[in-house]
Structure 1
Amino acid sequence: MALGLARRGVPVRIIDKKEGATEESRAMGVHARTLEFYRQFGFAEAVVERGMPAEEIRFRAGDLDGVGFSLRAMGAGLSPYPFMLTFPQDEHERFLLDRLTELGVDVQWGASLEDFVDRGDDVEAVINSGVSSERSVHAYVVGCDGAHSRVREVLALGFPGGSSDQMFYVADAFVTGAANDVLYLGLTGDGVALMMPVRSKGSYRIFGLVPPKLLAQQSIAWADVREHAESLLGFTVGQINWFSTYHVHHRVAEHFRVGRVFIAGDAGHIHSPAGGQGMNTGIGDAVNLSWKIAEVMRGRADSGLLDTYEQERLPFARFLVATTDQAFKVLVNDGRVAQAARVHMVPRIVSTMMKFALSRRLFFKTFSQTRISYRDCTFNQGKAGAVRGGDRLPWISTAEGDNFASLQSLSWQLHTYGQPASGVVEQADQLKLPVYRFPWGEAAEHAGLQRGASYLVRPDGYVALALGPADSADQLTRFVERRHLDVSQPE
């Protein structure tokens, strides 16, 4: 959030009640859509260099020991980052903090939000530094303050949902004999465990379901679950660097915005860890909101643009929580049918499906979040080829380069593929809208773009308006004017 604002020249203040950056690895997976956002900020390659691409998922279930499927280049042709990256949250957070420091933004650690009042034209906040309280005035407040969000509490927003009765554990450990680029998933009738590479050779993150017989204990340590975990995964676990237990919750806030105050990330939605979607979804919230606040703050859009944050992100959060919760239940439920499905059906069905290109593409699009679309938000309009307003701009790459390079400008732009319709480029010139023209070819056709079409691309890389070759060119100007947008290149 702060990077998205600071990169656009918007002053920002960050407070965090913690005394410093996260020290546990916690969230691990960095998906393709997040890396695409990071490329816009100019540091995706640095993240990839620091992380570890996962090459394979391997099952250990019943008689299917060793069966799995490859993750290598699963998204080839769909994204410049056709893989899943593991990058521990503590290193990830420090990396982003360094990028903020480069922009002259520092985090005020040990400071907490006590209260705030939305006064219509601004927000007055009461901030406790740990020594004293102060009142400060801001244009907007964004609560990225987690599942126990103080911002959400002050707004009196409901957080409906539920919690799992089961208990789970997580550990960072050194493991002997495991491949350093493989995700191992152990499944039995009485348990499930996932192991994934973390930082260096031999270092892994282990997630698992605490055996029911241990739930009556007042506290649970690694020693209590070790034998069960090693049996599930088939490896000997050595030194443990971190261990914790937790319950899985699934909740979505009633709203993501009230006046000048917003919530994002875990403050707005929490769900099962299935698919590693949580952190990536929070980053998606921040990207979506930060460019909109920046456009309003710089006088390039009216405040109505901010309404689209909830319109676009809340439906996705609800969908995500529902789907990840169902997928998680298949893996961890303790009923006889669920146990049989977990051991005998899931590995076979998934491994078989992943042999087909269509299934692999769908799997990648879903888990990488490149499939996320805002078609249902009325802000976005039009259709050209398979692409509609609200869709992520499809990625194409040719010998001359790719169509995502220009997105690093973090600004509005018009993309044309092949010879554009008469008058479109002239309309763009009148709006001082940057135009990027791409030759028509097999890559564009395969991506679902339309020959002769023009696409108005938002600062976050989503299509705002799709114009087919037969559409009137003045639709571009009408779209911009009706939404009170300034789509010129910022100075």
Structure 2
Amino acid sequence: MKSHYQVLIVGAGPVGLLLACRLKKNGIDVVVVEKRSSRSTHSKALSMNAASLALLHSLGVVERFKQSGKEISDISIYWDQQRISHVDYRQLNSCYQHILAIPQPETERLLEEYFVELGGEIRRSATLNAIDIGSNGINASLADGGILTCDYLVGCDGSHSIVRDFAGITFSGFDYGIDFYLFDAQVSWQGKRDEVHYFVDDQGFIIVIPLVDGNHRFVLRCPREDDSLPSQAEYQSVLSRYIPQPVVIERVVWESKSQFYNRLASQYRVGNIFLAGDACHLFSPIGGLGMNTGFQDAWNLAWKLTAVIRQRQPDDLLDTYSEERRNMAAVLRDSTDINTRFIARIDRDNEKTHYWLPRFSNRLRARTLHPQLFSGLAQRYIEPSLIYEGKRLTGKYLPYLTLIQQENRVNSYDIVDGENYHLIVYGENNKQRLNTTLINYYLPIYFVEVNGFDKKIEFQSGEYLLVRPDGFVAIHENWETLEAVVHYFEKNKIRNSL
């Protein structure tokens, strides 16, 4: 049996599988080891945001997920049973103007099936026992006595990551010290079944998420004197207190108890060992950012590993993984903490309450920024290594555009391939100058189809976008500064594979 791989991924959860799929599609020799003998039946991660759907689009599998999930375009937030705020995803500049409610076991199934279709290998019932750095790379000893060697090892093995422990990485932060209950149930309810609902009062909250099978996911606090799960009658009592519409629990399908955490790893990289997902950050589920942030980790790391393994860029490119993703996780950790303290009524600061109240002064924020924040599309890299200081789209995920290349029409999400940089030009510019300036860089060039252009996007005629392999905009500048692309490629020693 094969024993050496370019990349070994520990953990076959959603993050590990997404990373494996992207690497395998890029032609990287990768294996996934998983201590569980079968896929998880636990369904804690549920909401897939627009940013994650854009990644799955670029991977070519988003339609599979859409068929298995429920699209939700609205979030309603209630205070004392009165609706105080509405998040409308239809305001997003994306073809995915919704979140997708899809249980974690289904996400794992779809990603695993695709990985296997690509020729990928998953070794189950394989528990990592030790890691040793040898002359031939990293030696990973398994509990059954087997040894796998690899050039790079990635821990996607969750909050109790054994990879993190072996690498000596600290995982600092705190627990909220409160038990939260999650359950899926068949209910009779007169409320809207196509929205996510947050019901909050001065004592706590309930979150209600509709599922594709007609059931609903509930997240709530339910103070108890022992460690047992609440009875159906106790769940019913809490729901009846918070929800203004009549609701009756007919059957509890699944239930679990969990703590909410706020933790961040001190490092994301030690040598050729990396962390991604819950192994390096833990958020509360308020806002649904946990798994989605892990997806962004995997997407960021995959193209950088590919570039280094293919020897198109030097090893220090991999340092930017921690630079970009850990800084982003710190921002999300802090914002999620604020929202959690408000929703769970841990922090009773009235100023934070006013942030969500419908006021004339924050109408624009509620209409535009809140959907961006919940969707993940507001994330922006600002670190200087791979981001050129420029206009408003710099550091953000590229907008959804219709593009033309040699009379062929494509959309901007389609061109993200996890391996190559691309250039998007808006306007009829000097194509001869484009070809002359960039001839040595094998850089695909696309022109915006103006007839289908969304005027809300901050991208104007006479400007261009240099798009990284992960779909993030490295440069957004005026046409006159085209030499910035040459400088960027030379400074970062970039060579496309095309």
Q: TM-score, normalised by structure 1?
A: 0.89
* CA–CA distance in structure 2, aligned partners of residues 157 and 262 of structure 1: 10
Q: Is the Cα contact below 8 Å between 1:118 and 1:260 reproduced in 2?
A: no
**Where do residues 69-468 of structure 1 align in structure 2 (5 Å cutoff)?**
69=86, 71=88, 73-75=90-92, 78-119=93-134, 122-128=137-143, 132-177=144-189, 178-201=191-214, 203-211=215-223, 214=224, 216-223=225-232, 224-233=234-243, 234-333=246-345, 337=348, 349-351=356-358, 356=363, 358-383=365-390, 385-388=391-394, 390-397=395-402, 402-408=411-417, 410-420=419-429, 423-439=433-449, 443=453, 446-468=456-478
Worse-superposed segment, 298-307 or 4-13: 298-307
* CA–CA distance in structure 2, aligned partners of residues 353 and 262 of structure 1: 46
TM-superposed deviation, 1:200 = 1.5
The 3 A distance-change label for structure 1 pair 69 and 466 is closer
* CA–CA distance in structure 2, aligned partners of residues 48 and 442 of structure 1: 24
Aligned to 2:54: 36
Are 2:495 and 1:478 equivalent residues in the alignment?
Answer: no
Residue by residue over 1:271-304, the C-alpha shift from the partner in whole angstroms, topping out at 9 and shown as x without a partner, is 1111000000000000000111011111221211
The aligned amino acid for 2:286 is A
* CA–CA distance in structure 1, aligned partners of residues 362 and 327 of structure 2: 32
Residue by residue over 1:411-470, the C-alpha shift from the partner in whole angstroms, topping out at 9 and shown as x without a partner, is 221111113467333232322221112255793664112422232211110122334222
The aligned amino acid for 1:372 is Q
Paired residue secondary structure (1:163): strand
Q: Is the Cα contact below 8 Å between 1:155 and 1:258 reproduced in 2?
A: yes
The aligned amino acid for 1:431 is Y
Paired residue secondary structure (1:73): helix
The 3 A distance-change label for structure 1 pair 186 and 446 is closer
Q: Is the Cα contact below 8 Å between 1:17 and 1:109 reproduced in 2?
A: yes
Paired residue secondary structure (1:25): coil
Residue by residue over 1:392-426, the C-alpha shift from the partner in whole angstroms, topping out at 9 and shown as x without a partner, is 22223489653333225752211111134673332
Worse-superposed segment, 262-271 or 173-182: 173-182
Worse-superposed segment, 21-30 or 435-444: 435-444
Residue by residue over 1:105-148, the C-alpha shift from the partner in whole angstroms, topping out at 9 and shown as x without a partner, is 132111111111234762111122xxx21222101000000000
* CA–CA distance in structure 1, aligned partners of residues 362 and 71 of structure 2: 20
Residue by residue over 1:201-243, the C-alpha shift from the partner in whole angstroms, topping out at 9 and shown as x without a partner, is 2x011100123xx2x3242333444312332234111211211
The aligned amino acid for 1:429 is I
Residue by residue over 1:242-272, the C-alpha shift from the partner in whole angstroms, topping out at 9 and shown as x without a partner, is 1121211100000000110000000000011
Q: Is the Cα contact below 8 Å between 2:401 and 2:448 reproduced in 1?
A: no
The aligned amino acid for 1:381 is Y
The aligned amino acid for 1:196 is I
Q: Is the Cα contact below 8 Å between 2:95 and 2:400 reproduced in 1?
A: yes
TM-superposed deviation, 1:355 = 9.2
TM-superposed deviation, 1:319 = 0.9
Worse-superposed segment, 93-102 or 116-125: 116-125
TM-superposed deviation, 1:33 = 0.7
Q: Is the Cα contact below 8 Å between 1:230 and 1:237 reproduced in 2?
A: no
* CA–CA distance in structure 1, aligned partners of residues 307 and 419 of structure 2: 11
Q: Is the Cα contact below 8 Å between 2:87 and 2:366 reproduced in 1?
A: no
Worse-superposed segment, 247-256 or 364-373: 364-373
Worse-superposed segment, 175-184 or 11-20: 175-184
The 3 A distance-change label for structure 1 pair 371 and 120 is farther
* CA–CA distance in structure 1, aligned partners of residues 220 and 278 of structure 2: 22
Cα RMSD for the two superposed structures:
2.6
Runs of 4+ in 1 over 6 A off after TM superposition: none
Worse-superposed segment, 436-445 or 185-194: 436-445
Q: Is the Cα contact below 8 Å between 1:158 and 1:253 reproduced in 2?
A: yes
* CA–CA distance in structure 1, aligned partners of residues 132 and 428 of structure 2: 53
Unaligned runs of 5+ in 2: 1-18
Q: Is the Cα contact below 8 Å between 1:120 and 1:259 reproduced in 2?
A: no
* CA–CA distance in structure 2, aligned partners of residues 452 and 425 of structure 1: 17
Paired residue secondary structure (2:132): strand
The aligned amino acid for 1:187 is V
The 3 A distance-change label for structure 1 pair 357 and 9 is same
* CA–CA distance in structure 2, aligned partners of residues 28 and 87 of structure 1: 5
Residue by residue over 1:28-64, the C-alpha shift from the partner in whole angstroms, topping out at 9 and shown as x without a partner, is 1111110111111111122123211124334554362
TM-superposed deviation, 1:356 = 4.0
The aligned amino acid for 2:422 is Q
Residue by residue over 1:120-177, the C-alpha shift from the partner in whole angstroms, topping out at 9 and shown as x without a partner, is 762111122xxx2122210100000000000100111111100012111111111112
TM-superposed deviation, 1:373 = 1.3
Residue by residue over 1:57-106, the C-alpha shift from the partner in whole angstroms, topping out at 9 and shown as x without a partner, is 34554362x6653635232xx11101111111111110111111110113
**When the two structures are aligned, how many residues end up with a matched partner?**
471
Unaligned runs of 5+ in 1: none
Paired residue secondary structure (1:470): helix
TM-superposed deviation, 1:15 = 0.5
The aligned amino acid for 1:433 is L
